[in-house]
Structure 1
Amino acid sequence: MDSATSETRTPLGASAENGLKIVVVGGFGVGKTTMVRSVSEIRPSTPRRR
């Protein structure tokens, strides 16, 4: 298995060609948001309480 350093970035065009969509399903309180946060490179949006 080969890996790249965090300094090596792929331009969006090249990475979009190899995109992957993952569906995360489950009941209330089973860790869906926790799983998404653990693998995401960006901060997911969360609803704000009033």
Structure 2
Amino acid sequence: MNKGTENSYALKQKIPVYIAYFTAWADENGNVAFFDDIYSRDQRLAQMLYKS
């Protein structure tokens, strides 16, 4: 990633890729860590979840 150049590789078989974006994460002990919402998605999600 930090090399400054990109490489492309053709795969013989397609594979699914899933990208998840979390701004909060709970560990196995129940401790919750919060992270900055660098993509500004939390506000939109909150509006959808708490829409009256």
Q: TM-score band, normalised by the shorter chain? A: under 0.3
Q: Indicate the structure with greater strand content.
A: 2
Higher RCO, 1 vs 2 (CA within 8 Å, ≥6 residues apart): 2
TM-score (norm 1): 0.24
Q: Indicate the structure with greater helix content.
A: 1
Rg (Cα) greater in structure:
2
TM-score (norm 2): 0.24
